[in-house]
Every structure is written in C-alpha cells, then in structure tokens.
Amino acid sequence: MRINKKYSEIIEWVIAIVLIVICWNYSIFSYGSFSPLKEHEQSERSFHYGPSKIVKTIDLDEGKIYLCRYKDWFSADTVKKGIIKWYSGDVGGTPIDYSKQVSYSWSSSSIKENLTITKIYGYVNNPKIAIILFEDENKTDISRYVLDESRMFIFYWKEDNQDNKIKYLKGLDKDGKVIYEEKVIGF
C-alpha cells in the first residue's frame, strides 16, 4: 500500500511539471527577451535575416531602434520594452538598389496603445551626397542627417496620428547644394 502511494505522488509531480512546462512554452512568458539586443537578434533569426551589423542604436523611452546592415541589405529594427521583457516591434530587410542614388524604406511600429514610432531609413549610394534632409512640403519641419562612413541614415518620430503631408528626401553635397530630391510616398 505504501509503495503505491509513493508512486502516485511521483506520477502527480511528473504530470504537474509536464503541465507547467507546456503552459510556460505557450504562454506570453515564452516570447520576448530580457535584453533588447537579444530580442533584436532573435527577431532577425525568426525572420531568417542576418545576423546584421548594428550601425547605430537609438534609445527611446519606450524601446530601441537598431539601424543595421546585412550584406546588400539594410534595416531599422524596433524593439519595445514590456513590463519585464523586450519585444520585437518590426524587423525586415530592404535590398540596396545600387542603380539609385539613395535606397530607402520606411515603417511604423506601435510602441504603446496610442503611440507609434515612424521611421524612414536607408543607404546612400552616391558618394557625392554628404547630408540627407527630410522635410515636409511647407519646409516647416526639416530634419538633417550628416552621413558617416556607413553611408546609412535614419529619421524617426513619434506620432499619434498621420498628418499626411507630402514629404521629401533630399541629398546635399559637401557645399550644401541639392543633388538629389525625391518625394516620399506612403506617409
């Protein structure tokens, strides 16, 4: 009688442990990482992209953006901070189109309930371009990015709704002369 009770207790514990492991694997605790960098790397792996070289890390109150390059691709991966863990906001690569002066992409990622981070980022092929400008049609909102040896740029902003203004991406040479201009579609 005593042996059967001991075996039944062991079986109960084994079942309890198996159920805990199954529940843990399918719970919200199984997603995300305890480190923003680990979450970035994990999100790239899940997208079958990378591992990329991080060119720039941008710290936000609600998360981080990793501007990256992988072979002939570029990306700007957003990770957002949860209560305990970090979670992927968006990930994906865009191929560099070497036939264009500037290859760019844009994306938006929800950070909080009514808050989105929108970003436009890319790679500059034309070696004469030293500065990238991002401006609206009224030239009231102008952002400037001085290129470094990576030849990559990023503009980002928080928004709670789309303003739908026409925006332009411009490339300036070292003397400040506009040598590239393109209307940015999608905003």
**Predicted confidence (pLDDT) per residue in 12-34, tens digit:** 888 888 887 776 555 555 678 89
Question: Model pTM?
Answer: 0.80
Are 11 and 5 in contact by the 8 Å Cβ rule? The answer is no
What is the CATH number assigned to the segment(s) 32-184?
2.60.40.10
What confidence tier does 70 reach under pLDDT thresholds 50, 70, 90? very high
Read off the pLDDT of residues 134-151 as tens digits, 9 standing for 90 and up: 998 877 778 999 999 999
**Alpha carbons 94 and 181: distance in angstroms, whole number:** 20
| Average pLDDT value over all residues in the chain | 87
Q: For the chain, how many residues are written?
A: 187
Q: What does the pLDDT average to over 50-79?
A: 94
Instruction: For the chain, give every domain's residue range.
Output: 1-30, 32-184
CA dihedral 141, 161, 165, 176 (to 10 degrees): 30
CB atoms within 10 A of CB 24: 10
Is the separation of the CB atoms in 169 and 185 below 8 Å?
A: no
